[in-house]
Amino acid sequence: MKELVVLVGALLLARVLPILDPSYANFTPLFAVAIFFPLTQSKLLSYSVPLGVMFLTDLFLGFSAINLVVYFVLALIISLSRSINNYVYTSIIGIGLWHVIVNFFVWLSNPSMSLLQTYAMAIPFDFKLLLSTLVYGTALSLLLQRKHAYT
């Protein structure tokens, strides 16, 4: 239980850090945790921790019309992780789905530019999201291997 509290605290900090330093925007461990939790935790925790952290931080950061789509895609990534069981594949497929679905709804909310322009403008942000998911996923994988080696 102590590990869960530390993890939730770290995730909350990681979600708020981009406000303090914008260079951290879209570099978050949240998706890596969403991918790994189904492999190590119950189904309830797999969904409630990542989505709960997202909701709690949105209480402070503010809600927008796109939030429900973001929650849906995060839940979709969690579901994918339960069936794929490979964090690299799940990361690539999940962030690919994120890119297509979320940015489609971004375009719907602001159709002043073309859909193709919206997708193109999102590539640097979503690449950073993919990179952070792979980096944090690798770290979580190593931590899990180390924990299992000593138990």
| Segment 83-142, tens digit of pLDDT | 887 889 999 999 999 999 999 999 999 889 999 999 999 999 999 999 989 988 888 778
pTM for this prediction: 0.82
> 142-149 long-range CB contacts below 8 Å, 24 or more apart?
144/36, 144/40
Q: What is residue 98's predicted lDDT score, i.e. its pLDDT?
A: 95
Cβ–Cβ < 8 Å for 118, 103? yes
Does any domain span residue 88?
Answer: yes
Residue 103 lies inside a defined structural domain of this protein: yes
Is residue 4 one of the residues assigned to a domain? no
Q: Tokens in use for 10? A: 């770290």
pLDDT at 151 over 60: no
**45 assigned to some structural domain:** yes
Distance from the Cα of residue 99 to its chain's centroid: 12
pLDDT tens across 48-79, in order? 888 988 898 888 888 888 999 999 999 999 99
94 domain-assigned: yes
Q: Tell me 103's DSSP state.
A: H
| Residue type at position 78 | I
Distances (CA, A) of 37 to 6, 7, 45, 82: 14, 11, 7, 9
Q: Does any domain span residue 74? A: yes
**What DSSP line would sit under 112-123, residue for residue?**
TS-HHHHHHHHH
86 within domain boundaries: yes
The length of the chain is: 151
| Domain coverage including residue 117 | 26-149
What number of other Cβ atoms are within 10 A of residue 16's Cβ? 13
Q: Is residue 128 part of a domain?
A: yes
Number of domains observed in the structure of the chain: 1
Find the DSSP H helices in 41-151: 43-61, 67-84, 87-109, 115-149
